[in-house]
């Protein structure tokens, strides 16, 4: 969609470009990709502070 907005309205600021009629009825597909990461795989604030202590 970003490309078509630029293609049809290159002289307008990106955040002010209207949606061209060519893509008006095209719906955006939902992503079917599932994350391989679990919430437990992410760092906690304790992990962050430990990491920064090691760096200092």
Task: Read off the pLDDT of residues 20-47 as tens digits, 9 standing for 90 and up.
Answer: 998 989 888 888 888 888 888 888 999 9
Contact (CB, 8 A) for 19 and 8: no
pLDDT band at 54 (very low <50, low <70, confident <90, very high): confident
Name the 3-class secondary structure at 8. helix
Q: What is residue 14's DSSP assignment?
A: G
pLDDT of residue 9: 95
**Band of the pLDDT at 18, cuts 50, 70, 90?**
very high
Look over the chain and give the mean of its residue pLDDT values, rounded to a whole number: 90
Neighbours of 39 (CB within 10 A): 6
């Amino acid at each position: 969609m970003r490309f078509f907005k630029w293609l049809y309205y290159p002289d307008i600021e990106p955040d002010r470009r209207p949606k061209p009629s060519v893509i008006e009825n095209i719906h955006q597909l939902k992503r079917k990709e599932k994350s391989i990461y679990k919430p437990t795989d992410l760092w906690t604030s304790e992990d962050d502070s430990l990491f920064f202590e090691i760096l200092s």
